[in-house]
Amino acid sequence: DIQMTQSPSTLSASVGDRVTITCRASQSISNWLAWYQQKPGKAPKVLIYKASSLESGVPSRFSGSGSGTEFTLTISGLQPDDFATYYCQQYNSYAYAFGQGTKLEIK
Amino acid sequence: EVQILESGGGLVQPGGSLRLSCAASGFTFMDYAMTWVRQAPGKGLELVSLISSTGGTTFYADSVKGRFTISRDNSKNTLYLQMNSLRADDTAVYYCAKGQRTAVTNNWFDPWGQGTLVTVSS
């Protein structure tokens, strides 16, 4: 099975900062990667699919990049609403896998 | 507007059974794969099961294989998860979510329902 490793597990940042979250796959997944945002007590919401495609309605400060085994989610100009937990998900194979999550906290 | 609403969660004893339902509206249900994803308290996301648009192909995580059964009724726009032989480590919020394709492969999931809590405890 493909394993997904996210880093860091926790990230402290301030409003206005630019932050990057990394997701690594244990083998190549081409660009079959999605990023989700989850707030406490709420369901996840997709931000990015196919590694770099922005979901409709998602602010343009969110961007994704990468292919193969290494991927990044970048948030440019953090807003108060962005403090949440972020998950990557590979969908290259039947054995879909999520990363363990990155909690973005206010510094 | 797409809406997804799970129901059927609750408290069940170890070894017991529970059936979750997921009612969908606002899209052509029969055209999309659907999934169940769970989240144990304070933990990350785990895909439990996935079903193709026709119901002809299913996928299960190793942790639930042989105990859980996913199914769908396209005439009722409803997805189900029959959970048998429940264990304490099945305790989680169970989310239903819409895939982006008819097949079980190459799907990301959006939108998700609000989730239903399953607690397995004596």
- The pLDDT tens digits for B43-68 are 999 999 999 999 999 999 999 999 99
Q: Bridge partners of B45?
A: B39
Which ranges in chain B belong to alpha helices (H)? none
**Lowest mean pLDDT, pick from A10-24, A86-100, B16-30, B55-69:** A86-100
B90 by DSSP, 3-state: which?
Answer: helix
| Among the partner residues A34, A43, A89, nearest to B112 by beta-carbon distance | A43
B39 by DSSP, 3-state: which?
Answer: strand
At residue B80, the pLDDT reads 98
C-alpha span between A102 and B7 (Å, rounded): 29
Interface test with B, best of A45, A96, A103 (most B CBs within 10 A): A96
| Among the partner residues B104, B107, B112, nearest to A44 by beta-carbon distance | B112
Q: How confident is the model at residue A103 (pLDDT cuts 50, 70, 90)?
A: very high
For residue A18 the two structure tokens come to: 């630019």
Residue A52 and residue A34 in contact, taking contact as beta carbons nearer than 8 Å: no
The single residue listed with the structure tokens 């998860």 is B81
Average pLDDT of the residues in A55-84: 97
pLDDT at A94 over 90: no
Which of B54, B92, B99 minimizes the C-alpha distance to B74? B54
| pLDDT 10s digits, B79-104 | 999 999 999 999 999 999 999 999 98
- Taking an 8 Å cut-off on Cβ atoms, the answer to whether B105 and A101 are in contact is no
Task: Give the chain B residue nearest A9 (alpha carbons).
Answer: B44
The answer to whether the Cα torsion of B19, B23, B28, B32 is positive or negative is negative
Residue A84 and residue A38 in contact, taking contact as beta carbons nearer than 8 Å: yes
C-alpha span between B29 and B23 (Å, rounded): 10
For residue A88 the two structure tokens come to: 């990557």
- Taking an 8 Å cut-off on Cβ atoms, the answer to whether A43 and B104 are in contact is no
Chain A within 8 Å of B9 (Cβ-Cβ)? no
C-alpha span between B6 and B34 (Å, rounded): 13
